[in-house]
Structure 1
Amino acid sequence: MSQSTQNRSRKDVADVLIVEDNMVLSYTMGLKLKQKGYSVTKTGNGKEGLALAIEQNPALLILDIMLPEMDGFGILRELRKRESTKDMKVLILTSKGQEKDVKTGFDLQADEYMTKPFSVEELLMRVVRLIG
């Protein structure tokens, strides 16, 4: 198979990047998304999450706020500055549910903001709404 055919086939599957430091939660979300046909990459580190988001330019970034090395708001701020990632779909999934946190997320142009605890079914519905 040619490289362009491989790339085209790979892009038929929407890529989701999960940046979440709770490994059990990250694993569970990844498993459910894979069962629905998405390609999933995961990391629990903020700086690594930013690097992966820039490198992979996924269809969707599921982003926690409280992360080691760089918080989710910082990641989102950096992504929105870059031409290549400024339109990336971002779903914030965090325990930070105070009004000021939600406002910050939307001010930074998050596409969705969900608080923990959450329903996996609701998460999947929002993923489908964002990227199909």
Structure 2
Amino acid sequence: MFHRIRRVVGRWQAVLRWRTLLGDETAVRNLELLALALKEKGWRCVELYEKQEYGFPVPLLWVYASGMAEDVGMVVTVRATPGGTWAYFEAGKGRAGFLSPCGDAKTAAERVDRLLKYRMFPNPEWA
């Protein structure tokens, strides 16, 4: 029984990886919306979308602080999720880096904003 469940989950993960790798246009569109929302909050963003230029398999958005805390930042990507949907994830953490579903860039920007503020000033207020 356990092996059967494991095979089914493995197939779904392969499908989601495949959709993510082929969904560059969707990822870029969602990352651009997130970048606009984050820039309104004062964060700097670098769009790393071109596979040939940057060598990343998926589009990425590097978000970082300006001024004194330039060493604080995160890289965000968009991944396919079950049900034909998409979500923002912190790159490098895999599916454990879930931030927010796509479709509401304002909520995703608030989540990224809180996480980065917490990294700059570890305080329960930002958790």
Greater Cα radius of gyration, structure 1 or 2: 2
Q: Same fold (TM over 0.5)?
A: no
Please report the TM-score for the alignment, with normalisation by the length of structure 2. Answer: 0.41
Structure (1/2) with the larger helix percentage: 2
Please report the TM-score for the alignment, with normalisation by the length of structure 1. Answer: 0.40
